[in-house]
Amino acid sequence: MQNGFFRYLNPRGVIALISFLSVGLYLLNRYLGTHIGIHLSVTALIVVIFGIIDRYFWKYPPFKWLYWIPDMSGRYEGMIRYSDPITGADDCKQCVVEVFQTGSKLKARCFFQHEWKQEQSESKSLEENIVKNDDDTWSLVFTYQNEGIPATPHPHYGTNVLRFIQNGEGKFLKGYYYTNRTPQTKGSIEVKFLSNNLKNDF
């Protein structure tokens, strides 16, 4: 599913804001036309204002009520745990999940590294979605592509399903992943929010 501008908007909030802006800009136009002789394009101004809100202010009051999704953006760090598909031995890696989010756009990246090794691989999301679960919680679901480690590349595709948890201890993403590798690899992910500063460009 492609990211769309109206994808996560709350219709009632949008209608209320457009009505407010339309009346306000109409009155401003009348004032400017009467006193200065300038007429503004109300439609163009509404589009510009929505663009600014979507990019910079979507997660802050009062604008966050224009959207029906929670703010998951930021850098999370933790671990992934899995069983080696060949030996069956349990293993783990350090994991970083970075989520870039605006009111209409969502991208995710994951980085994996053994604590005792220097190897590192990166997964980039291809398709992303935020879904509301039956228990009124939220999950971040995305498919990704991983190019593998430069020295021994093993490119593959996979899917992450991560429940978003927010409580007195902070914000977390917890869930599982699986890949199309042969033999298939899968495991669990648990990461905790650390910062809004993302170390990688989206």
Give the domains, in start order, of the chain with CATH numbers. 11-66 (no CATH), 74-195 (2.40.128)
pLDDT tens profile 1-47? 344 667 888 888 888 888 888 888 878 877 766 667 666 677 788 88
Residues 6+ apart with CB under 8 A from 67: 8, 9, 10, 13, 58, 103
| Proportion of the chain above pLDDT 90, given as a percent | 44
| Rounded CA separation 169/98 (Å) | 19
When mean pLDDT is compared over 14-18, 88-92, 188-192, the highest value belongs to 188-192
Averaged over 101-109, what is the pLDDT?
92
pLDDT in the model for residue 2: 46
List of long-range contacts for 89-98, beta carbons under 8 Å, 24+ apart: 95/189, 95/191, 96/191, 97/162, 97/173, 97/189, 97/191, 98/74, 98/198, 98/199, 98/200
pLDDT in the model for residue 20: 85
Please give the model's pTM, rounded to 2 decimal places. 0.82
Residues 6+ apart with CB under 8 A from 131: 138, 139, 141
pLDDT in the model for residue 5: 67
pLDDT tens profile 157-170? 999 999 999 999 99
Q: Is the pLDDT higher at 100 or at 122?
A: 100
* Residue 20 in tokens: 């407010």
